Amino acid sequence: MNTTEKFDYDIEFFDREREKQEILDILKVKPQLINFIYGPINSGKTTLITNLIKNLPDNYVVFYINLRQNPISTYKDFLEELFDAEFEEALIERKITKAIPDAIADLKTAFGIPIPSKLFERIFSSEDPKSAFRYLLKIMGKVKEYNKIPVLIIDELQVIGDLKVDGKLIYKLFNFFIALTKELHICHVFALSSDSLFIESIYSEAMLDERCRYLLIDDFDEQTAKKFLEKHNINRESQELAWNHFGGKPLLLRKFIFAANKKEFIADEILFRKTQLKTMLNKVRELNVKVTIDKEELKIEYEAIIKVLKKFKGSEVINTDECDEISKTFFVNKNILFVDPKKGLIRPQSRIDLLAIREILKEIKQ
Ligand SMILES: Nc1ncnc2c1ncn2[C@@H]1O[C@H](COP(=O)(O)OP(=O)(O)OP(=O)(O)O)[C@@H](O)[C@H]1O
Ligand SMILES: [Mg+2]
């Protein structure tokens, strides 16, 4: 097989049986809680959800909205992502005479909530999300009338974390989600995010107390990672090499499988992370770098961030209270560290980041 051929195929979905079962069990009972799916970067959250959607039985109607697809900086941008005003034209083209809400019940997955264009214009011109929520509720009700179960999935929810429409949009959305789940039990709600600071802030949000469930989609464990590599004809020795450098990060394991020269690939990845991290540290040491926490701009102290990195010299995970808020915000924003608010732990985003941290610490003489 030549290299071109090798890149012509992609890797098929692997495992996640436990996580899939957990989500399927949630879908079997009536909606009670908002489900937050979180995990380190590139752990496979979106891949898992998209695979699960594809294989759901026909009695589920899934609305999957990925907020990462287009830039969102206003409430109107959000509406454009949330709704699909072109669905109507598709119905006309296919000579389907059903009204939109009835036609939706025939769908399996919609990547946007189908809406009549006239109504969309009205919702779009209003500055109050109530009319949008009212329509969503009507759609979910209609799906139920057809004895189907609606599932609303919003990927990359943190994108709208700071949007305002007469107050924060996210709070209005959470209230709506609470109505859909805990109060009306009408629709399953899943929100995905790779921004662990966002998940952490939700975790400590009083209005969401007892109303949410948090599901961690982590990198593969050692056994799964090795089985995954084995399936792609990676020998034992290389499996060990990959696990020692990339842990169970699916994206990196996938790249490793495709890499023509495995050792070179590993060396390149470490060098890349080290250079990135070094530049970040140099900037903090030499410039006046700040982070914003609760609208306040705070200066990052070089000594403080080095102190945090040093904690990873001898351990892979630390407790959240071992890291000051400014350094934590800095490293999470830079995708170096991941916070698991449910377990109260902080760790590097991947094994390769941990190795880069340790190598840099060796070079810092103080
Ligand atoms: N179960 C899996 N089987 C095979 N490959 C996978 C699996 N999960 C993830 N991958 C690979 O890892 C890549 C990254 O996964 P994905 O984009 O789903 O991660 P994510 O957690 O949603 O990332 P982000 O943190 O950026 O939202 C995928 O493009 C895919 O190549
Ligand atoms: Mg994702």
Cα 242 to ligand 1 centroid, rounded to whole Å: 17
- Domain assignments of the chain as residue spans, ordered by start: 17-216, 284-363
Give the helix ranges, DSSP H, for the chain. 3-8, 17-28, 45-54, 75-82, 87-93, 100-104, 117-125, 130-145, 169-178, 196-203, 222-231, 236-246, 250-258, 262-286, 302-310, 325-333, 351-363
- Assign 341 a pLDDT band (cuts: 50, 70, 90): very high
Asked if residue 214 has its Cβ within 6 Å of ligand 1, the reply is no
Q: What is the pLDDT of residues 272-286, one digit of tens each?
A: 999 999 999 999 999
Q: What is the pLDDT of residues 197-232, one digit of tens each?
A: 999 999 989 899 999 999 999 999 999 999 999 999
Mutate to test the pocket of ligand 1, among 46, 153, 199, 337 (most ligand atoms within 8 A of CB): 46
- Assign 4 a pLDDT band (cuts: 50, 70, 90): very low
Ligand lying nearest the CA atom of residue 18: 1
Ligand 1 atom at minimum distance from 249 CA: 12
pLDDT of 129 > 60? The answer is yes
- What architecture is domain 284-363? Orthogonal Bundle (1.10)
Ligand 1 atom at minimum distance from 12 CA: 4
Q: Is the dihedral of CA 226, 230, 235, 238 positive or negative?
A: negative
pLDDT of 306 > 70? The answer is yes
- Assign 8 a pLDDT band (cuts: 50, 70, 90): very low
Q: What is the pLDDT of residues 138-185, one digit of tens each?
A: 999 999 999 999 999 999 999 999 999 888 999 999 999 999 999 999
Cα 66 to ligand 2 centroid, rounded to whole Å: 9
Cα 115 to ligand 2 centroid, rounded to whole Å: 26
The third-level CATH classification (topology) of the domain covering 17-216 is: Rossmann fold (3.40.50)
Cα 42 to ligand 1 centroid, rounded to whole Å: 5
pLDDT attached to residue 366? 54
Cα 50 to ligand 2 centroid, rounded to whole Å: 10
- Assign 9 a pLDDT band (cuts: 50, 70, 90): low
Asked if residue 44 has its Cβ within 6 Å of ligand 1, the reply is yes
Q: What is the pLDDT of residues 83-98, one digit of tens each?
A: 999 998 888 888 888 8
Asked if residue 335 has its Cβ within 6 Å of ligand 1, the reply is no
pLDDT attached to residue 5? 43
Asked if residue 14 has its Cβ within 6 Å of ligand 1, the reply is yes
User: Does 284-363 match 17-216 at the fold level?
Assistant: no
Mean pLDDT, all residues of the chain? 94
pLDDT attached to residue 116? 93
Cα 257 to ligand 1 centroid, rounded to whole Å: 14
Helix and strand counts by DSSP (H, E) for the chain: 17, 13
pLDDT attached to residue 3? 41
Q: What is the pLDDT of residues 104-116, one digit of tens each?
A: 988 999 999 999 9
pLDDT of 101 > 80? The answer is yes
